[in-house]
A and B are shown apart, each in its own frame.
Chain A
């Protein structure tokens, strides 16, 4: 027996906005009869506002509840706002869904996305997708695309193949695509990691930080030995410096540079920094 929330039960018992809109401005579909659940959503859009929404769903209690609440969530909202809705928002509005049923909320998201894509004025949706791998079916049993898996990982912070199966059904039947799903998870987090590193400091912030570390931590140490250092230039992760005083021409200068200056900057600013001495 599923532990459905009161809200889920209310929505499958009394689904809102059931049916079809004749002359709908946008229609979106997700799922299929073969796969065991499918959803069709109809939107009426006027002046950039969703004025009406209706749905038809073939699926279980949580699929009907997800569709029903989704129509309530979007009526009266601007297309821009509707575009921001994720599967997680749908599940949250329902007071949560059992983990194995999260794919129902993903189906709602999918149908909505499909509808918006089909809506003439909306072409900029492609921009949202430009960082994703190309469209490709990963799970042939349930026809799940790489894009959908990517979205589910991104919106819900999924980390394991099992979680991806709960949210998208991919890998839930023959299981042959589990390796591929793992690859997508790995690729996603690798990408996210490198994004984080690059975006954590803007180039200007980086220059300021390197300068500050040199002035407050590195220079005073070198001065103790009668030497000093000046920052000449920063080019990406390359930090060009000039050694002065006793350090200049010191036969240990290379050691000073690598073991002290570079390691300090790597620790405090960016692990990819290279310190280079210029004359």
Chain B
């Protein structure tokens, strides 16, 4: 049985080219890049060059604006804690209801520490309420923190516009963007976006797990989260993870080269999957169909059935996807993102996120479209809501 991996927003496979550039730093080039001898020169230059690649990938103004971290969560924690520590007199933060848990849980902790946090809502398409955002910004706002693209729905938020709103209301307010789900899927230009800080994670675009990046512009000061040596210009202690830094740089190069493919071919396959499901399965609905989404993601609700069972049956056929259903995660409540969008309860528990990558083949999408109706039929037959299902079928024909 071949594996069909459609869960690339969870993690991605390491690109063979990426693994290849990493291996020498485990085997021969294991020097500490801070060491003085000749043997360390290659490691040192690799870190330097990789920083340059990431600078270009994000279109930062300067290599000094790029920090290597261990993951997206570390980038976010460093940015948020770092900014707040440098602006102790300001106690107000604005974020959204649909952020990734790594950020949301940090804000809940900060609330306990005495910060006031406003959570901006979304409409049923998953689009942010920008008026609410504008109203919320005041003299005391230290930080606005908004993701670039949503991990569950793929919806892209208007970062450039939000930057303008923030600057027009309070020039001292810093703007952090969690771009973990955007990197590798859409071009990122930190200067055009006008953001102060932005975090990405390697394993979402075919680098390995365990490497992330934090961009912070030269006007933004932060305190380090990890205190120790002078690495990363004193902003992040710890010996540089040379193989992984080489890896994320290679992954960024590949992503930049493949961006057009992502925006055309990956999108075409995603759209084919989406259209095929909606056409052939009467109790399915796209949870948001707006065009402004990353090209690889779709979130589809199957009404009156439960998501975990769909995933288990898919898994039996080697197909990997994920669900916003409560049962899958072990938490008892369904996805906070879908709830914030007011996805109806008939569909929220049966919502499946499909996320493709440049490795997804058309034959794989065809296979999913071939087997999925049977799986959904089988599970629908178990449902106690047969009358409601019959009504739905009549309505949608």
State the A residues within 8 Å of B (CB).
12-13, 15, 18, 20, 29, 33-34, 36-40, 56-61, 63-64, 100, 141-142, 165, 169, 172-173
Closest Cβ of chain B to A47, distance in Å, is: 28
CB of B381 within 8 A of CB of A18, answer yes
Give the nearest-CB partner of A99 in chain B.
B330
State the B residues within 8 Å of A (CB).
304-309, 312-313, 316, 325-328, 330-334, 345-346, 349, 381-386
Q: Which residues of A contact B316 (CB under 8 A)?
A: 13
Closest Cβ of chain A to B335, distance in Å, is: 11
A269 to B306, CA, bound (A): 57
- A37-B327, A100-B330, A172-B332 known; A18+B382 contact, CB < 8 A: yes
CB of A39 within 8 A of CB of B384, answer yes
CB of A36 within 8 A of CB of B383, answer no
Q: Which residues of A contact B309 (CB under 8 A)?
A: 12, 59-61, 64
Closest Cβ of chain A to B124, distance in Å, is: 18
Give the nearest-CB partner of A165 in chain B.
B332
A-B contacts, 28 of them at CB < 8 A, read: A15-B382, A20-B386, A29-B384, A33-B304, A33-B349, A36-B326, A36-B332, A38-B384, A39-B384, A56-B383, A56-B386, A57-B382, A58-B306, A58-B349, A58-B382, A58-B383, A59-B309, A60-B307, A60-B312, A60-B325, A60-B328, A61-B312, A63-B306, A63-B327, A64-B382, A141-B333, A169-B332, A173-B332
CB of B382 within 8 A of CB of A36, answer no
Q: Which of B327, B345, B381, B386 meets A59, CB within 8 Å? A: B327
Summed over the interface, the residue pairs from A and B with CB atoms below 8 Å come to a total of 72
Q: Which residues of A contact B308 (CB under 8 A)?
A: 60-61
Residue with the highest number of chain B CB atoms closer than 10 Å, among A39, A40, A59, A63:
A59
Give the nearest-CB partner of A98 in chain B.
B330
CB of A12 within 8 A of CB of B332, answer no
Q: Which residues of B contact A20 (CB under 8 A)?
A: 386
A40 to B384, CA, bound (A): 6
Give the nearest-CB partner of B346 in chain A.
A33
A258 to B326, CA, bound (A): 61
CB of A56 within 8 A of CB of B312, answer no
Further contacts, 8 of them, CB under 8 A, given A58-B384, A59-B327: A36-B326, A37-B349, A39-B384, A58-B304, A60-B328, A61-B309, A63-B327, A173-B333
CB of A57 within 8 A of CB of B384, answer yes
Q: Which residues of B contact A40 (CB under 8 A)?
A: 384
Q: Which residues of A contact B312 (CB under 8 A)?
A: 12, 60-61
Give the nearest-CB partner of A68 in chain B.
B382
Give the nearest-CB partner of A139 in chain B.
B332
A166 to B151, CA, bound (A): 27
Q: Which residues of B contact A169 (CB under 8 A)?
A: 332
9 nearest interchain CB pairs?
Answer: A172-B332, A60-B327, A60-B308, A56-B384, A40-B384, A36-B349, A100-B330, A61-B312, A173-B333
- A34-B345, A37-B327, A58-B306 known; A172+B333 contact, CB < 8 A: yes
A36 to B326, CA, bound (A): 7
Q: Which residues of B contact A34 (CB under 8 A)?
A: 345
Q: Which residues of A contact B332 (CB under 8 A)?
A: 36, 142, 165, 169, 172-173
Give the nearest-CB partner of B303 in chain A.
A33
Closest Cβ of chain A to B28, distance in Å, is: 37
Closest Cβ of chain A to B14, distance in Å, is: 21
